[in-house]
Amino acid sequence: MMIWRKEEPNTGGMYAYKVFGTFSDVSAEEFLQVQVDVDYRKVWDPTAKQLEIIDTDPKSLSAKDHRTDIIYWEMIWPRLFSNRDYVYQRRWVLDEEKNIVVIVSRVTDHPDAPNRPDTYRVTSYWSYMVIKPSTNFSEPGIEFGLTYFDDPGVNIPSAVTAWVALSGLPDFLCRMRQAAKDYKNYICIKKQEDLLSASILTDKDEEIIEAEDNNSNDSSKVLVNLDGANFARESNIVNKTYSHESLSNNSTIESSAANNDNIVYFSNNTNNNNNNNSINGNDNGSKSEESATKESDKDLEQNNEQETGYFRYLFLTKLFA
């Protein structure tokens, strides 16, 4: 690994840095993902307090070989200093024909990331990275070059700049290398977590559906019970009405039977009552007619007997006179 620095014009002694290195155990595809996966950057970089994509070029959403994003990044600084935050545009392109990857970042503004009072907004930052695989993008072995400039807004002593060139930057690149080697494991664990969370959500949805089904069954049971109660009430009302009508009909029949000096037997069926009443009425009528006929016959017989006795009395009196 080799590091150069060059004083940037009109910056008051600030330096731009250039790094060239090779990694034999990292593929170009993994190294690219370490640069562009903001969620993974928060895992392996302890200085990234907040890092998120706030906007994306719609034309690059479905592309697999290029993308353009607007990123907000808050970087942790030591105590007695405010954290530094960045809003920058990042563009990357993967060219398979030239067998190269280019990543370009530069500060910009965005309405979704206004200035914050608790951080210092860095307004001068740019970086260029080129990644070239030794064979292909999926095989281990790369060489890369990085050039960047950053104005943190504070005068940095020469001792600090020397430490950055000699120790800080190489340590950062070594962490980046290890992150690229661990990227496959990170993706596997993330997929398992996603599957687990999806299964938990599915179980919760099934429990909710079962609870809704139980509630619906309970409500249907309540409705059935209510319907049964209403049916029972209606049945009681009908029975009471029917019994009242039956009693009234019975009293009417009994009164009519009493008037006719006849005993009438009836069932609980109203139609049978009516039929029985009509039959009994006809029977009563026929009986009354028969009794009247018999009485008339008796009267005639009595009259005949009286007349016969009277004629006998006259005949005897005339005979024994």
Q: What is the pLDDT of residues 45-94, one digit of tens each?
A: 999 999 999 999 999 999 999 999 999 999 999 888 899 999 999 999 99
What pLDDT was estimated at residue 230? 54
Q: Whole-angstrom Cα distance, residue 16 to residue 21?
A: 17
* Contact indicator for 35, 173 with CB cutoff of 8 Å: no
Looking at residue 175, what is its pLDDT?
92
pLDDT of res. 245: 46
Q: Sign (positive/negative) of CA torsion 281, 284, 290, 293?
A: negative
Q: Looking at residues 100-110, what average pLDDT do you find?
A: 97
Using alpha carbons, select from 85, 95, 87 the residue that is nearest to residue 69.
Answer: 87
What is the rounded distance in angstroms from the CA atom of residue 140 to the CA atom of residue 96?
A: 16
The set of residues, in sequence order, having a beta carbon less than 8 Å from that of 114 and lying 6+ positions away, is: none
pLDDT at site 246: 45
The pLDDT assigned to 220 comes to 54
Task: Flag the least confident range among 95-109, 124-138, 181-195, 278-292.
Answer: 278-292
- What is the per-residue pLDDT across 160-215, written as a single tens digit (0 to 9) for each? 767 766 677 888 889 999 999 999 999 999 999 888 888 887 767 667 776 666 66
Task: Note the pLDDT tens digit of each residue in 272-315.
Answer: 444 444 444 445 444 455 555 555 555 555 555 554 444 444 44
Residues 199-258: tens digit of each pLDDT? 887 767 667 776 666 666 655 554 545 455 555 555 554 454 444 444 444 444 344 434
Q: What is the mean pLDDT of the segment spanning 254-267?
A: 40
Task: Provide the pLDDT for residue 300.
Answer: 53
Supply the pLDDT for residue 32: 96
The per-residue pLDDT for 253 is 36
- Give the H/E segment covering residue 187: helix 183-259
Tokens at residue 286, please? 């026929």
The pLDDT value given to residue 95: 95
Tell me how far apart the alpha carbons of residues 101 and 29 are, in angstroms, rounded to a whole number: 9
Whether the model pTM is above 0.85: no
Question: pLDDT-derived band of residue 317, with 50, 70 and 90 as boundaries?
Answer: very low
pLDDT score at 209: 74
DSSP state of 108: -
**Between residues 265 and 57, which one has the greater pLDDT?**
57
In this prediction, residues 2-24 reach a mean pLDDT of 90
Residue 271 has pLDDT above 60, yes or no: no
Grouping H, G, I as helix, E, B as strand and the rest as coil, residue 109 is: coil
